[in-house]
Structure formats: structure tokens, C-alpha cells
Amino acid sequence: MTIPGGLLETVSLVVRDTLRNWPWLLLWAASLLALVFWQRRRLHQAQVGFPDIVTLARPDTTLVECNEVCQRVLGDWRGRRWVEALLPEEQEQVRQQIAQLTPQQPTFTRVDRMVDAAGQVRWLEWINQGIFDRRGRLQFIRGVGRDITKQKQLEDNLRLREAQLQALLDALPAAIWARDPQGVLILQNATDRAWFGDLLGTSLQEGARQYPQWLEFTCQALADLERQGIFQMEGKEIIQGQERYVYRLAVKLQDESKGLGYLGI
């Protein structure tokens, strides 16, 4: 079907003007994406450091020793079986893991929810090591743990932010994407997937195999973004097998220290 030139020009003007009146959309998406990156950085920082909780238990998990950190965080558990503080299904998992300890494979790791001395639920990451006698019989289990409650909370917040971001972007009729500083696609909304397919995790070169025209204007876009922080272009593209008139806008995402990538619409 042939579209009259005047109608095509009118449609292109309407689309261009409409999209150009959406700076708030790009700013909102950029700020939300930057927040996700910031929370990922906080999550990494939360993983640094290891405030040790050290315990020594018999094979049935009865504690015979626990250090001051353990007593401060969990309370004095000496004489108690720490396995009984876990959920029933987790208790069975621990018993199986203990039964599988050997001098050749003396350790196992776990992440457990436990109630602390103040009655609050905490997430604890444990490295458990079996101590054996000369005959290879399990005598004790040494546990070294750290409190990862803040890390878990950050992970939950990050998942929530990412879900909010994806849900809101998927509701928009414009194609929206984001690439990391290396050019790998890390975000794609529903419209972009519908137009170009699922390309998450692909580099520019990989995407250009299917859409050869991308490489030229995307390289130009990245050059403009590095130089000016913004890129705009409009022209004809083949989308879903049809020639379309497209307006593109992209901005560079950056925090105080380094670039976070690029966001486009």
C-alpha cells in the first residue's frame, strides 16, 4: 500500500512532536535506571567485610562453644541444637548435608533464616566444616557465619525496583532500551522486543547481524553521546518487515564517578 507523501509527512511530524514532548519520560526512566545501578553498587558494598560468628557443635548440631559475636547476635546457644531453629524442611536438608560430610569433602555452605537475640529474623550465611578423628569419624562441626540481612534487604529492594521499571516501561508504546558502558543490551521493553526481537545480553555487533543498519547509526550515536551526552536522529527503518519513519533519542547515564551506560527511546 502506498502512503501519500503529505500524509506521511503529517504522521512523521505528529510522531516526532509527540516524542519530543516526552522529555519527562526519558528523565524518569534514566533516574529509575540510575537508581537500580546505585542499589547494585550498595549491594556489592554490603558484601564486603566478614563479621565472623563462630560456633563449634557436635554432629547432632548441639553447640558446645560460640564466640562473643554469636552471643551478641543470636544469644548464648550453648547446649542447644541450632538445627532446631530452622524451618522443618531446612532441618532435613541440614541433616542430609551433615550425613554427607567426609574427610575428603568436609565442608558445606548454607544461607539460613534465624531469630536473633532480640526476636528479629536475620539471614545468616554459614560455612560449616566437619572435624574428624583419625578413623574418619565426624566429631565436631565448626561453623563460621556472617549476617547478610542487609544484603538480602538490598536484593529484595533491587528486585522490586527492577520489576517496577520493567512493568512501567512495558506499558509504554515507545521502544525503550538501555546498554551498559560496553554496549551490551541490559534493558528492553515490550515494544522494543516486539519490533526487534529479544536481544537482551547482545552486543552491538551481535545485534547488527540481524539489523545491519544499526551498526552505523549506533556507532554514531555512541560517539555523539560521549561528546555531547545526547543523540537524536530520525529517518526510515525496516521494522517487522515494513518501512517505518522513526525518531530516536538517547542519553548517557552517569553518576559521580563513571558512566553507567546509555538509555534510548
Q: What is the pLDDT of residues 180-219, one digit of tens each?
A: 888 888 889 999 888 888 888 888 777 767 666 666 767 7
What pLDDT does residue 4 have?
Answer: 46
Structure pTM?
0.53
pLDDT at 19 over 60: no
Where does residue 75 rank: exposed (0-12), middle (13-18), buried (19+ CB within 10 A)?
A: middle
Instruction: Report how far residue 26's alpha carbon sits from residue 221's, in angstroms, rounded to the nearest whole number.
Output: 16
Strand ranges, E, within the chain:
53-57, 63-66, 107-115, 121-132, 138-147, 177-179, 185-188, 230-239, 242-254, 259-264
pLDDT higher at 142 or 212 = 142
The topology (CATH level 3) of 53-147 is: Beta-Lactamase (3.30.450)
Residues forming a β-bridge with 142? 56, 129
pLDDT higher at 75 or 17 = 75
Where does residue 149 rank: exposed (0-12), middle (13-18), buried (19+ CB within 10 A)?
A: middle
Confidence of residue 96 (pLDDT cuts 50, 70, 90): very high
pLDDT at 227 over 90: no
Confidence of residue 57 (pLDDT cuts 50, 70, 90): very high
What pLDDT does residue 107 have?
Answer: 94
Report the chain's C-alpha Rg in angstroms: 27
Instruction: Report how far residue 204's alpha carbon sits from residue 185's, in angstroms, rounded to the nearest whole number.
Output: 8
Instruction: Report how far residue 32's alpha carbon sits from residue 256's, in angstroms, rounded to the nearest whole number.
Output: 16
Which grid cell sits at 59? 554432629
CA 15 distance to own-chain centroid: 34
pLDDT in tens, 100-137: 999 999 999 998 888 888 888 888 899 999 999 999 99
What pLDDT does residue 250 have?
Answer: 84
CA dihedral sign, ordered 24, 25, 27, 31: positive
Confidence of residue 98 (pLDDT cuts 50, 70, 90): very high
In which residue ranges of the chain is CATH 3.30.450.20 found? Answer: 5-45+152-264, 53-147
Which listed CATH number (3.40.50.12280, 3.40.50.920, 3.40.1350.10, 3.30.450.20) goes with 5-45+152-264? 3.30.450.20
